[in-house]
Amino acid sequence: MNLSHAFILGVVEGLTEFLPVSSTGHLILTARLLGLSQTEFLKSFEITIQLGAILAVVAFYARSLLVQVDVLKRVLAAFVPTGIAGLVLYKIIKKFLLGSPDVVVASLFFGGLFLIIFEKFYRETPGGKKEDLSRLSYRDAVLIGLFQALAMIPGVSRSAATIVGGLVLGVRRKTIVEFSFLLAVPTMTAASAFDLLKSAGGFSVEAGQLSFLAMGFVTAFVVAMASIKFFLRFIQRNNFTVFGFYRILAAGIFFFLGLGE
């Protein structure tokens, strides 16, 4: 890896973290396109630079995270299922799933097909209490967290899993999108911190790995700021069908490029 690679991966992370297309999947496939080996450092890099994107959420929603206690409680309740699953399955995920382009391509394709079918039949109705994050039930928050846990499979997309889960439970689209943003903060912070705790001893300052992390982090933050603004405007008038078609197209391209083998 070099600084150019770190910059490109940071751009990919910032663009895809909050869209229902799977940032982890895109990072894995982009790394393969760049000819980067799936080393332990690269796997940790792909997890850690997500903190840059998460910092963008903190900048946008500082009030919800720090002042609106009722919202914060529901975010933490939703984090619990993913946190437990992550602790239990960490070794399996990192060893067998994070380095597998096959899993990513399959998840992109079937996830895209699911989004198209879901949006074909989904009809949004006024949600009453489910229009306000502070009035979301704890039961719904935990169930949304269970949906999020599915995103431990690379290519599934954390945002897609949480947003679709919320829509199934009757939460308004704009509300669940914002909840997905907020839920990313404890989820990805915990994932990055836990991975760094496990892997930091293997980082080599002499090889410039810390500078790669810094480049990826800053780039992801800047790009994610723009990505969040775009997504919030997009959902005002559109559903996620276009992302479903994009996922299928991306899966096909990656497959024919030989990245799913």
pLDDT digit string, tens, across residues 14-64: 999 888 888 877 888 888 888 887 777 787 787 778 888 888 888 888 766
Q: Specify the pLDDT at position 184.
A: 86
pLDDT reading at 243 higher than 90: yes
Residue extents of the structural domains in the chain: 3-256
Q: What whole-number distance in Å separates Cα of residue 177 and Cα of residue 241?
A: 15
Q: Give the pLDDT confidence score for residue 6 in this predicted structure.
A: 92
Average pLDDT over residues 240-245: 93
Average pLDDT over residues 130-135: 76
Question: Cα dist. 62→67, 78, 140, 230 in Å?
Answer: 8, 18, 23, 19
DSSP state string for 31-96: HHHTT----HHHHHHHHHTHHHHHHHHHHHSHHHHHT-HHHHHHHHHHHHHHHHHHHHHHHHIIII
Higher pLDDT, 248 or 50: 248
140-144 long-range contacts (CB < 8 A, ≥24 apart) are: 140/166, 140/169, 140/171, 141/74, 141/75, 141/77, 141/78, 142/77, 142/78, 142/80, 142/81, 143/169, 144/78, 144/169, 144/171, 144/176, 144/179, 144/183
pLDDT at position 99 is 58
Give the pLDDT confidence of 183-226 residue by residue, as tens digits.
888 888 887 777 777 665 555 555 677 888 889 999 999 999 99
Could you count the other beta carbons within 10 Å of the beta carbon of residue 175?
18
Considering only 8-17, 23-32, 234-243, which range has the smallest mean pLDDT? 23-32
Across 156-175, average pLDDT: 88
**77, 138 contact by CB (below 8 A):** yes
Average pLDDT (121-142) is 78
pLDDT of 220 reads 94
User: Hey, what's the torsion of the CAs at 137, 56, 53, 204, to 10 degrees?
Assistant: -120
Q: What percent of the chain has pLDDT over 90?
A: 23
Mean pLDDT, all residues of the chain: 83
Distance CA 63, CA 57 (A): 11
Of residues 43 and 9, more confidently modeled: 9
pLDDT at residue 126, as a whole number: 65
Q: Identify the pLDDT of residue 94.
A: 64
pLDDT for position 105: 87
Residues near 75 by beta carbon (within 8 Å), at least 6 away in sequence: 65, 141, 179, 182, 183, 185, 186
- Token output for 257: 């490029």
Is residue 134's pLDDT more than 70? yes
Compute CA distances 98 → 24, 91, 94, 152, whole Å: 8, 10, 5, 9
